Amino acid sequence: MPYRKNPTTNQIIELDVFGAEFSNWLIPTDAELLQEAKTVKLAQLEAFHDSDAARIFYVKTTAKNTFAFSTLDNKRAFIAEQIAICENSIKSGFPMNQFGYEHKQTDPVTQIVTSELISLDNMRLIFANLGNIVNSNYDMKIKTHIPNIKALKTIAEVQRYNFRAGYLLNQTITIK
Angle ∠(119,171,56) on CA atoms, nearest 5: 80
Q: What are the tens digits of pLDDT across the range 62-93?
A: 777 888 888 888 888 988 998 898 888 888 88
Residues of the chain with pLDDT under 70: 1-26, 95-99
Residue-level pLDDT at 22: 55
Instruction: Give the pLDDT of residue 43.
Output: 95
Q: Is 57 strand, coil or helix?
A: strand
CB 142 within 8 A of CB 27: no
CA torsion through residues 35, 36, 37, 39, sign: positive
> Residue 21: what pLDDT?
53
Map out the domains of the chain as residue ranges: 49-175
Q: What is the pLDDT of residue 99?
A: 66
Rounded CA separation 168/176 (Å): 23
80: Cα separation from own chain's centroid: 20
* Secondary structure E strands in the chain: 3-5, 12-14, 56-61, 66-70, 100-106, 113-119, 171-175
pLDDT for position 155: 94
Q: What is the pLDDT of residue 7?
A: 56
Listed in order, strand segments (DSSP E) in 7-160 are 12-14, 56-61, 66-70, 100-106, 113-119
The neighbouring-strand residues paired with 101 are: 118
